[in-house]
Protein backbone atom coordinates (compact mmCIF):
# COMPACT_ATOMS: atom_id res chain seq x y z
CA UNK A 1 0.00 0.00 0.00
CA UNK A 2 1.92 2.97 -1.25
CA UNK A 3 -1.02 5.15 -2.19
CA UNK A 4 -3.85 6.29 0.06
CA UNK A 5 -7.33 5.83 -1.43
CA UNK A 6 -8.55 8.86 -3.41
CA UNK A 7 -10.53 11.41 -1.42
CA UNK A 8 -14.24 11.64 -2.20
CA UNK A 9 -15.06 14.42 -4.63
CA UNK A 10 -16.15 17.53 -2.77
CA UNK A 11 -18.59 19.69 -4.75
CA UNK A 12 -17.11 23.09 -4.12
CA UNK A 13 -15.79 24.55 -0.93
CA UNK A 14 -15.50 28.13 -2.18
CA UNK A 15 -17.80 30.63 -0.49
CA UNK A 16 -18.55 34.27 -1.23
CA UNK A 17 -16.32 36.68 0.67
CA UNK A 18 -19.29 38.94 1.39
CA UNK A 19 -22.31 36.77 2.21
CA UNK A 20 -20.65 33.34 2.72
CA UNK A 21 -23.02 31.63 0.22
CA UNK A 22 -21.52 28.80 -1.86
CA UNK A 23 -20.08 29.88 -5.19
CA UNK A 24 -19.01 27.99 -8.31
CA UNK A 25 -15.46 28.23 -9.59
CA UNK A 26 -16.65 29.72 -12.88
CA UNK A 27 -18.58 32.55 -11.20
CA UNK A 28 -17.36 36.11 -11.64
CA UNK A 29 -20.05 37.43 -9.31
CA UNK A 30 -21.83 35.89 -6.35
CA UNK A 31 -25.36 34.87 -7.38
CA UNK A 32 -26.76 35.68 -3.97
CA UNK A 33 -25.38 39.16 -3.27
CA UNK A 34 -23.59 40.30 -6.46
CA UNK A 35 -20.16 40.45 -4.81
CA UNK A 36 -17.38 40.52 -7.47
CA UNK A 37 -15.62 37.32 -6.32
CA UNK A 38 -12.96 37.59 -9.04
CA UNK A 39 -12.82 41.39 -9.09
CA UNK A 40 -9.93 43.64 -8.14
CA UNK A 41 -9.55 45.08 -4.65
CA UNK A 42 -10.88 48.40 -5.88
CA UNK A 43 -14.02 46.75 -7.29
CA UNK A 44 -14.55 44.94 -4.03
CA UNK A 45 -14.19 48.20 -2.10
CA UNK A 46 -16.75 49.93 -4.33
CA UNK A 47 -19.13 47.02 -3.76
CA UNK A 48 -18.74 47.29 0.02
CA UNK A 49 -19.28 51.07 -0.16
CA UNK A 50 -22.54 50.65 -2.12
CA UNK A 51 -23.71 47.92 0.23
CA UNK A 52 -23.20 50.35 3.12
CA UNK A 53 -25.57 52.82 1.45
CA UNK A 54 -28.14 50.13 0.73
CA UNK A 55 -28.06 48.98 4.31
CA UNK A 56 -28.49 52.55 5.56
CA UNK A 57 -31.48 52.94 3.21
CA UNK A 58 -33.07 49.74 4.46
CA UNK A 59 -32.50 50.80 8.05
CA UNK A 60 -34.06 54.21 7.41
CA UNK A 61 -37.10 52.48 5.85
CA UNK A 62 -37.34 50.12 8.79
CA UNK A 63 -37.17 53.01 11.26
CA UNK A 64 -40.04 54.78 9.54
CA UNK A 65 -42.12 51.59 9.48
CA UNK A 66 -41.34 50.90 13.14
CA UNK A 67 -42.74 54.33 14.03
CA UNK A 68 -46.04 53.53 12.35
CA UNK A 69 -46.14 50.14 14.04
CA UNK A 70 -45.55 51.85 17.38
CA UNK A 71 -48.41 54.27 16.71
CA UNK A 72 -50.70 51.30 16.03
CA UNK A 73 -49.51 49.72 19.30
CA UNK A 74 -50.29 52.95 21.15
CA UNK A 75 -53.73 52.98 19.52
CA UNK A 76 -54.37 49.52 20.98
CA UNK A 77 -53.35 50.77 24.45
CA UNK A 78 -55.65 53.78 24.02
CA UNK A 79 -58.55 51.46 23.11
CA UNK A 80 -57.80 49.39 26.20
CA UNK A 81 -57.87 52.58 28.28
CA UNK A 82 -61.14 53.78 26.71
CA UNK A 83 -62.94 50.52 27.51
CA UNK A 84 -61.54 50.53 31.04
CA UNK A 85 -62.71 54.11 31.62
CA UNK A 86 -66.10 53.10 30.22
CA UNK A 87 -66.39 50.37 32.86
CA UNK A 88 -65.53 52.84 35.61
CA UNK A 89 -68.06 55.29 34.21
CA UNK A 90 -70.69 52.52 34.20
CA UNK A 91 -70.12 51.92 37.90
CA UNK A 92 -70.57 55.61 38.70
CA UNK A 93 -73.61 56.15 36.50
CA UNK A 94 -75.79 53.18 37.38
CA UNK A 95 -74.46 51.69 40.56
CA UNK A 96 -77.79 50.13 41.40
CA UNK A 97 -78.56 48.05 38.33
CA UNK A 98 -76.65 45.04 39.69
CA UNK A 99 -75.99 43.66 36.21
CA UNK A 100 -72.33 42.72 36.15
CA UNK A 101 -72.35 40.98 32.76
CA UNK A 102 -71.74 44.24 30.85
CA UNK A 103 -68.85 45.51 32.99
CA UNK A 104 -67.21 42.06 32.99
CA UNK A 105 -67.45 41.94 29.19
CA UNK A 106 -65.90 45.38 28.84
CA UNK A 107 -63.12 44.53 31.30
CA UNK A 108 -62.31 41.45 29.21
CA UNK A 109 -62.27 43.57 26.04
CA UNK A 110 -60.01 46.13 27.71
CA UNK A 111 -57.72 43.32 28.85
CA UNK A 112 -57.57 41.84 25.32
CA UNK A 113 -56.63 45.24 23.83
CA UNK A 114 -53.97 45.61 26.53
CA UNK A 115 -52.44 42.23 25.65
CA UNK A 116 -52.53 43.07 21.94
CA UNK A 117 -50.83 46.39 22.71
CA UNK A 118 -48.05 44.48 24.47
CA UNK A 119 -47.80 42.07 21.55
CA UNK A 120 -47.57 44.83 18.93
CA UNK A 121 -43.87 45.39 19.53
CA UNK A 122 -42.93 41.72 19.17
CA UNK A 123 -45.48 40.23 16.78
CA UNK A 124 -46.92 43.31 15.08
CA UNK A 125 -48.81 41.61 12.24
CA UNK A 126 -50.73 39.24 14.50
CA UNK A 127 -51.45 41.86 17.19
CA UNK A 128 -52.56 44.61 14.86
CA UNK A 129 -54.79 42.38 12.68
CA UNK A 130 -56.40 41.00 15.83
CA UNK A 131 -56.93 44.45 17.33
CA UNK A 132 -58.37 45.81 14.09
CA UNK A 133 -60.80 42.92 13.68
CA UNK A 134 -61.87 43.12 17.32
CA UNK A 135 -62.53 46.85 16.99
CA UNK A 136 -64.51 46.41 13.75
CA UNK A 137 -66.51 43.61 15.35
CA UNK A 138 -67.43 45.83 18.30
CA UNK A 139 -68.47 48.65 15.95
CA UNK A 140 -70.52 46.22 13.81
CA UNK A 141 -72.23 44.77 16.86
CA UNK A 142 -73.10 48.22 18.21
CA UNK A 143 -74.41 49.21 14.78
CA UNK A 144 -76.67 46.17 14.52
CA UNK A 145 -78.13 46.82 17.96
CA UNK A 146 -78.46 50.57 17.38
CA UNK A 147 -77.72 51.77 13.81
CA UNK A 148 -77.48 55.44 14.86
CA UNK A 149 -74.49 54.66 17.11
CA UNK A 150 -72.21 54.28 14.11
CA UNK A 151 -72.11 58.05 13.70
CA UNK A 152 -71.23 58.74 17.35
CA UNK A 153 -67.63 59.93 17.35
CA UNK A 154 -67.27 58.78 13.73
CA UNK A 155 -64.23 61.05 13.37
CA UNK A 156 -62.32 59.23 16.12
CA UNK A 157 -63.40 55.84 14.83
CA UNK A 158 -61.98 56.62 11.41
CA UNK A 159 -58.72 57.84 12.97
CA UNK A 160 -58.37 54.70 15.09
CA UNK A 161 -59.03 52.40 12.11
CA UNK A 162 -56.65 54.50 9.98
CA UNK A 163 -53.80 54.18 12.48
CA UNK A 164 -54.35 50.43 12.78
CA UNK A 165 -54.43 49.89 9.01
CA UNK A 166 -51.28 51.99 8.53
CA UNK A 167 -49.63 49.98 11.30
CA UNK A 168 -50.64 46.71 9.68
CA UNK A 169 -49.28 47.69 6.26
CA UNK A 170 -46.05 48.87 7.86
CA UNK A 171 -45.76 45.63 9.82
CA UNK A 172 -46.14 43.54 6.65
CA UNK A 173 -43.61 45.72 4.83
CA UNK A 174 -41.16 45.58 7.74
CA UNK A 175 -41.42 41.79 7.84
CA UNK A 176 -40.53 41.65 4.17
CA UNK A 177 -37.47 43.91 4.58
CA UNK A 178 -36.30 41.96 7.62
CA UNK A 179 -36.66 38.70 5.71
CA UNK A 180 -34.60 40.06 2.86
CA UNK A 181 -31.91 41.38 5.21
CA UNK A 182 -31.61 38.11 7.09
CA UNK A 183 -31.71 35.82 4.07
CA UNK A 184 -30.47 37.98 1.20
CA UNK A 185 -30.80 34.94 -1.02
CA UNK A 186 -34.06 33.82 -2.71
Partner 1 sequence: MEIAREHFCMHCNQPIADEARYCNHCGVLQAVPDIDDALQKQQRLVILSIFFGVHLAICLVSNFTNLTRGLVPLLIADGALSVFTLVYAILFWKELKYLFRWKGFSIVKIASYASTAVIGAIAVNYAVKWLNRTIFDTESYYYFAFSHLKYAKLITVVTVALQPAIFEELAFRGVMQEGLNKITDSRQAIFISAFLFTLLHMSFISFFWLMPFALWLGYIRLKEKTIWYGMIIHFCFNTTACFLEFFELNLF
Q: Which is nearer to partner 1, 156 or 185 (CB)?
A: 185
Tell me the closest approach of the beta carbon of residue 48 to partner 1, in angstroms: 14
Q: By the criterion CB under 8 A, which residues form the site for partner 1?
A: 23-24, 26-34, 36, 100-101, 104-105, 108-109, 112, 123, 125-126, 129-130, 133-134, 137, 140-141, 144-145, 172-173, 175-176, 184-186
Enumerate residues 6+ apart whose C-beta is below 8 A from 102. 90
Tell me the closest approach of the beta carbon of residue 121 to partner 1, in angstroms: 14
Tell me the closest approach of the beta carbon of residue 137 to partner 1, in angstroms: 6
Q: Which is nearer to partner 1, 109 or 160 (CB)?
A: 109
Count other C-beta atoms under 10 Å from residue 130's C-beta.
18
b/e per residue 26-56 (b: at least 16 CB within 10 A): ebeebebbebbbeeeeeeeeebeeeeeeeee
Amino acid sequence: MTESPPLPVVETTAVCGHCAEKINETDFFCQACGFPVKGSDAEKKIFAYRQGFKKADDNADLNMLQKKIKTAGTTLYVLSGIFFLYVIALFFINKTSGNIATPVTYIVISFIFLLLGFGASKKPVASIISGLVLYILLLAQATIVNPASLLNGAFFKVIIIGYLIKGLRSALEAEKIKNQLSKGWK
